[in-house]
């Protein structure tokens, strides 16, 4: 009688952790999209100071968020996303608007890819339990 209860508690725990990680990825995705839209606006206006300030805010946010996401996700995309965020600062500082735009679009693609790969499925829930 105790074993089924223990198994049920473990299954519920695994699903809860998976759901929490998915919600954190969703929150990060929405926040990155909001920052990107702000930066795209500054790019269109060719406002270097505004773009640089927004990029610095995005980088600060991402440093904090990445520390939490890395606990739940084992994605090479997180590392690539972090490298892309780090490159944004130099593009904004040197007013390389085309490169800044391209790098922002790559960041959005990467976070969307992570979001889609973290869908709560039986495979992702149980594979995560055995990582």
Domains of the chain listed by start with CATH number: 2-129 (1.20.120)
In the chain, which ranges are E strands? none
pLDDT tens digit string along 41-91?
A: 999 999 999 999 999 999 999 999 999 898 878 778 889 999 999 999 999
Angle CA(37)–CA(59)–CA(125) in degrees, nearest 5? 85
Q: CB-side exposure of 16: number of CA atoms within 13 Å?
A: 6
Contact criterion met (CB below 8 Å) for 89 and 56: yes
Q: What b-and-e string marks burial along 103-118, b requiring 16 or more CB atoms within 10 Å of the CB?
A: bbeebbebbeebeeeb
- What pLDDT is stored for residue 71 in this prediction? 85
- Which pTM was predicted? 0.83
The rounded percent of the chain whose pLDDT value lies above 90 is 61
Q: How confident is the model at residue 21 (pLDDT cuts 50, 70, 90)?
A: confident
Q: What distance in Å separates the CA atoms of residue 23 and residue 17, rounded to the nearest whole number?
A: 10
- What pLDDT is stored for residue 121 in this prediction? 60
Contact criterion met (CB below 8 Å) for 108 and 32: yes
Q: What distance in Å separates the CA atoms of residue 68 and residue 24, rounded to the nearest whole number?
A: 9
């Amino acid at each position: 009688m105790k074993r089924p209860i223990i198994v049920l508690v473990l299954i519920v725990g695994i699903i809860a952790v998976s759901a929490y990680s998915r919600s954190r990825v969703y929150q990060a995705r929405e926040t990155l999209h909001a920052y990107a839209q702000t930066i795209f606006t500054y790019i269109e206006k060719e406002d270097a100071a505004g773009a640089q300030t927004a990029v610095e805010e995005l980088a600060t946010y991402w440093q904090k968020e990445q520390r939490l996401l890395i606990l739940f996700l084992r994605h090479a995309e997180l590392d690539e996303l972090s490298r892309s965020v780090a490159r944004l600062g130099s593009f904004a500082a040197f007013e390389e608007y085309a490169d800044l735009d391209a790098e922002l679009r790559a960041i959005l693609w990467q976070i969307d890819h992570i979001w889609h790969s973290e869908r709560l499925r039986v495979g992702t829930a149980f594979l995560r339990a055995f990582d």
